[in-house]
């Protein structure tokens, strides 16, 4: 009975393998299929500004350090919220951390903490002015980007450009090989941007320390939104 079961299992295995091999043999061989890609690029000025303000506190007592950070952050929030506006100037807190400091012998010698406030939006003048008014925090970082509305618009333009170039290249390849046309088999679309912010971080920090209550100097850069269309076509 056991031998019979073994023979049945072996027969099923051989039958399955034979069926798979037959499918592989009978599978159509792809011919005249070409892989290609094309890019569309649109350069645009960055319209989103993000300024991070921060402060650091040191002390022997954790509660004292934490209280100092909270006091500085609360004062900055009060000032920033006066000019807050949806989309134009968004205000949010960033990193707030407290951790022990250790000496060379590995023993705790006190506490250190940091707190951050982030100003972000499309109104560059308003954001830079508010950053200059906040005196309890110092400038930590300035970065630029694209708002969601601007990104969607530019991506649509770049995508249209990439698709037209893909179609033109596919038609040109088909013609070069002596075919009358092509059929699209598969396609994928990917987008990314490559930005450049000309205002260095350290210059902005220096300006903040030298000109209290003065707007932070800013200058937006440009970014190129690139959309890549890639896929395969069947020459006909």
- Which tens digits make up the pLDDT trace of 40-58? 999 999 999 999 999 999 9
Listed residue (147, 155, 153) closest to 87, CA to CA: 147
In this prediction, residue 1 carries a pLDDT of 52
From the options 3.30.70.360, 3.40.50.300, 3.30.460.10, 3.30.300.30, give the CATH code of 48-145: 3.30.70.360
**Domain ranges within the chain, ordered by starting residue:** 30-47+146-236, 48-145
In this prediction, residue 212 carries a pLDDT of 55
- In the block, tokens 């290249």 appear at 169
Q: What is the mean pLDDT of residues 108-115?
A: 93
Distances (CA, A) of 132 to 4, 86, 129: 88, 20, 5
For the beta carbon of residue 17, count every other beta carbon within 10 angstroms.
10
Q: Chain-wide mean pLDDT for the chain?
A: 84
Name the 3-class secondary structure at 181.
coil
Distances (CA, A) of 234 to 102, 164, 186, 202, 208: 67, 17, 10, 55, 60
Look up residue 14 and give its two tokens.
């051989």
DSSP letter for 123, please: -
In this prediction, residue 203 carries a pLDDT of 40
Judge whether residue 155 has pLDDT over 60: yes
In this prediction, residue 18 carries a pLDDT of 52
What is d(CA 187, CA 172) in angstroms, rounded to the nearest whole number? 18
180-232, pLDDT tens digit by residue? 999 999 999 999 876 544 444 434 444 444 445 677 777 788 899 999 999 99
55, 61, 66, 69: CA torsion to nearest 10: -30
CATH fold label, 30-47+146-236: Translation Initiation Factor IF3 (3.30.110)
For the beta carbon of residue 222, count every other beta carbon within 10 angstroms.
14
* 122-139 CB burial, b ≥16 within 10 A, e <16: bebebbbbbbbbbebbeb
CATH topology agreement for domains 30-47+146-236 and 48-145:
no
Q: What percent of the chain has pLDDT over 90?
A: 69
Contact 76, 227 (CB under 8 A): no
Angle CA 221–48–144, to nearest 5? 45
**What secondary structure does DSSP assign to 98-167, as a single string?**
EEEEE-TTS-EEEEEEEEEEEEEES-HHHHHHHHHH--SSEEEEEEEE--HHHHHHHHHHHHHHHHHHHH
Phi and psi, residue 221, nearest 5°: -100, -170
1-41, pLDDT tens digit by residue? 545 555 454 445 555 555 554 455 554 667 899 999 999 99
Look up residue 201 and give its two tokens.
């971080």
Contact 134, 140 (CB under 8 A): no
**Residue 108 banded pLDDT, cuts 50, 70, 90:** confident
What is d(CA 159, CA 39) in angstroms, rounded to the nearest whole number? 8
């Amino acid at each position: 009975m056991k031998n019979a079961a073994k023979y049945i299992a072996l027969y099923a295995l051989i039958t399955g393998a034979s069926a798979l091999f037959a499918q592989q043999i009978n599978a159509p061989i792809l011919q005249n299929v070409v892989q290609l890609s094309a890019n569309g690029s649109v350069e645009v000025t960055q319209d989103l500004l993000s300024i991070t303000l921060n402060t650091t506190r040191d002390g022997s007592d954790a509660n004292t350090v934490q209280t100092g950070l909270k006091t500085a952050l609360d004062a900055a929030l009060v000032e920033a919220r006066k000019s807050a506006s949806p989309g134009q100037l968004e205000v949010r807190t960033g990193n707030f951390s407290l951790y022990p400091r250790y000496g060379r012998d590995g023993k705790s010698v006190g506490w250190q903490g940091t707190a951050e406030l982030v100003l972000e939006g499309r109104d560059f003048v308003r954001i830079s002015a508010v950053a200059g008014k906040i005196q309890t925090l110092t400038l930590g970082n300035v970065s630029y980007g694209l708002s969601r509305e601007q990104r969607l618009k530019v991506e649509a333009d770049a995508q249209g450009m990439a698709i037209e170039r893909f179609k033109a290249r596919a038609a040109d390849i088909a013609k070069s090989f002596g075919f009358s046309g092509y059929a699209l088999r598969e396609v994928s679309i990917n987008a990314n941007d490559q930005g450049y912010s000309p205002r260095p971080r350290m210059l902005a920090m220096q300006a903040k320390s030298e000109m209290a209550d003065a707007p932070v100097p800013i200058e937006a850069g440009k970014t190129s939104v690139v959309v890549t269309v890639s896929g395969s076509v069947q020459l006909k």
